[in-house]
Amino acid sequence: MIKMTVFYPNEEGKRFDLDYYCNKHFALVKEHLGDALVDVQMERGLGGPAPGMPARYVVMAHLYFNSLEDFQTYCVPKSPMFDADVPNFTDITPIFQLSEVVL
C-alpha cells in the first residue's frame, strides 16, 4: 500500500480554513480520484509533547492507494487541479511525502 502524506506546517501569521479543506477540497479530491483512493485520514495538530508547546503541523492528511501505479495513474495527473485549489483554504506551502506502508 502507498501513502501520500500532505503536511501543512504551523507557521505564525498563516491561515488555514479547516472547514473548506474538509468539506470542499477533499470532496474535489475524492470525486476525481474515485476508487483509486482507498482511504483518507486527516489530523489536526493540537500541540507538542510538552504543555504549551505548539503543534509542528496545523494539519496532516494521509491518502492511501493500493499501489504506486495507482497513485501515478490517478493522482499525479490531477495534481495541478488540486494545487490550484490550495489558495482557497491556506497560504501555507504544503510538504508532500510518498511512503510505502510496511506494517
- Give the span between the Cα atoms of 80 and 11, in whole angstroms: 24
60: region left, alpha or beta (phi > 0 left; psi from -120 to 50 alpha) = beta
Residue where the block lists cell 479543506: 21
**Predicted TM-score of the model (pTM):** 0.92
Residue 18: its pLDDT value, please? 97
Domains in the chain: ranges and CATH: 2-100 (3.30.70.100)
List pLDDT tens digits, range 36-65: 999 999 999 999 989 999 999 999 999 999
H-type alpha helices, the chain: 18-20, 26-33, 68-70, 79-85
Residue 75: its pLDDT value, please? 94
Residue 89: its pLDDT value, please? 98
List pLDDT tens digits, range 79-101: 999 999 999 999 999 999 999 99
